[in-house]
Amino acid sequence: MPESGGAPQPEQARAGALQGAAGSAPPQVVAELDVERWREGLLGRERDLVAEELPVGLFYHGVPHGVMLATPADLEDFGVGFTLSEGLVEDAREIHDVQVILGGETAEVRISVAWERFTALLEQRRRLTGRTGCGLCGVETAEQAIRAVKPVGEGPAVKAADLHSAIAGLACRQPLNARTGSVHAAAWVVPGRGIEVVREDVGRHNALDKLIGARVRSGADFSGGFLLLTSRASYEMIQKSAAVGIAFLAALSAPTALAVRLAERAGMTLVAFAREQQHVVYAHSRRLSGV
């Protein structure tokens, strides 16, 4: 891996994005608690496992950008994925470094990006100074809340058998949810090979960002596979996916009408209510065959 020094070149920038560092041992992702469980008229005392979540601050060149509540795992992936999916950079090579600093009850993800991207972030922050609150932080108008989505590429050809095989195999690739029953997952599936990567988080957006970051940090792209989500397909999930060129998204739950319109606009195949023996195609069915 290249030595750092001076302004990162494209190869160094990619290497920096692949590294990341932790300031201390990672916190626990599960808490064990004493509970009272009522079942069929009987009350018993037991130990139960509950998913942890921490406030995770995102900093760009030391300047705070926002705080997310997230599962304290795979935070380097989260930092890279969030930066890309939110359009804060246009290319992974513009992410120069990601550092994770863990505290007792909080975490920080410190990210450095190409200077021109950082100055744009500072200008956005300057425009927001003095505002008392916002429903969608970082936007000033309703139109800005829905970013323009770029057309996705051709993407994969997916057989229904590939989709349903991945759905059937997803549960056993979710160890945190198996223990707690309360976290979402985002999985990357390659037709003919199955599930390759899974990331879990208490937040569905966070799980997707972690998956995007994991793919990018491994040097992989998004052209040959499809995204499988345990959550609903909301417009933010379409936006984030389109931002990195994901052409096929399948969700176990429902879509929203806005998500369907955005998928149509981006040329993205959108499948929802994806279960082991059924699914509904809402946009661009050409990539999915019934074989």
CA 271 to CA 104: how far, in whole Å? 40
Q: Which two tokens stand for residue 148?
A: 């323009």
Q: Which two tokens stand for residue 121?
A: 């972030």
CA 196 to CA 187: how far, in whole Å? 7
* Exposed e or buried b per residue across 122-139, where buried means at least 16 C-beta atoms within 10 angstroms of its C-beta: eeeeeeeeeeeeeeeebe
**Residue 134 catalytic?**
yes
CA 153 to CA 85: how far, in whole Å? 16
Helix/strand number for the chain, H first, E second: 9, 14
DSSP string across 128-176: HTT----SSTT-SSHHHHSPPPPPP-----EEHHHHHHHHHHHGGG-HH
Q: Which two tokens stand for residue 127?
A: 């425009």
CB atoms within 10 A of CB 67: 13
8 A C-beta contact, residue 108 and residue 59: yes
User: What angle do the packed helices 75-85 and 204-217 form, to 10 degrees?
Assistant: 100
Q: Which of 31, 134, 137, 148 is catalytic?
A: 134
Q: Which DSSP category does 22 fall into?
A: B
Q: In whole angstroms, how far apart are CA 82 and each of 59, 160, 186?
A: 12, 30, 14
Indicate the SS3 state at residue 246: coil
Give the active site residues: 134
